[in-house]
Structure 1
Amino acid sequence: MPMTATKTILIVDDDVELSDGLRVVLERQGFRVIQARDGVQGKQMVYQQRPDLVILDMMMPRMGGYPVLEHFKDKADAPPIIMITANEGSRHKAYAEYLGVIDYIRKPFAMERLLEAVERGLSRGQPSPQGSDAAKDEEE
Structure 2
Amino acid sequence: MRILVVDDERGLAEAVRRGLTNEGFVVDVMHDGVSGLWAATENSYDVVLLDLMLPQKNGYDVLKELREARNWTPVLMLTAKDGEYDQADAFDLGADDYLTKPFSFPVLVRRIWALSRRGGRERPAVLTLGTLTLDPLTRRVLRGDTAIKITPREYGLLEYLMRRHDQIVTKAEILNNVWDPAFEGGDNVVEVYIGYLRGKIDVPFGLQTLTTVRGTGYMLSADQDPGNDGPRSSET
Range class of TM-score, shorter chain: 0.7 to 0.9
Task: Give the deviation of 1:91 after TM superposition.
Answer: 0.3
Give, in angstroms, the shift of residue 88 of structure 1: 2.2
Greater Rg over alpha carbons, structure: 2
Q: Residue 10 of structure 1 corresponds to which residue in structure 2?
A: 4
Aligned to 2:35, which of 31, 41, 44? 41
Query: Relative contact order (C-alpha < 8 Å, sep 6+): which is higher?
Result: 1
1:29 to 10, 17, 23: 23
Mapped partners of 1:106, 1:82: distance in 2: 10
Structure showing the higher helix proportion among its residues: 1
Which letter maps to 2:37? K
1:123 aligns with 117
1:97 is matched with which residue? 91
> How far apart are residue 75 of structure 1 and its match?
4.6
Q: Gaps spanning 5+ residues in structure 1: where? A: 1-6, 127-140
Structure 2 spans left out of the alignment, 5+ residues: 121-236
Aligned length in residues? 120
Q: Kindly tell me: are residues 75 and 123 of structure 1, through their superposed partners in 2, closer, same or farther at Cα, counting changes over 3 Å? A: farther
**Matched residue SS, 1:94:** helix
CA RMSD of aligned residues (A): 1.4
- Report the alpha carbon displacement of residue 58 of structure 1 after superposing the two structures with TM: 0.6
CA shift, 1:100, in A, is: 1.6
**1:68 is paired with a residue of what secondary structure?**
helix
Q: Please identify, of 97-106 and 9-18, the stretch whose mean Cα deviation from structure 2 is larger.
A: 97-106
Aligned to 1:3: none
Residues in 2 aligned to 1:58 and 1:112: alpha-carbon distance in whole angstroms? 21
Q: Does 1:84 align with 2:48?
A: no
Matching residue within 49, 52, 61 for 2:55: 61
What code does the residue aligned with 1:107 have? K
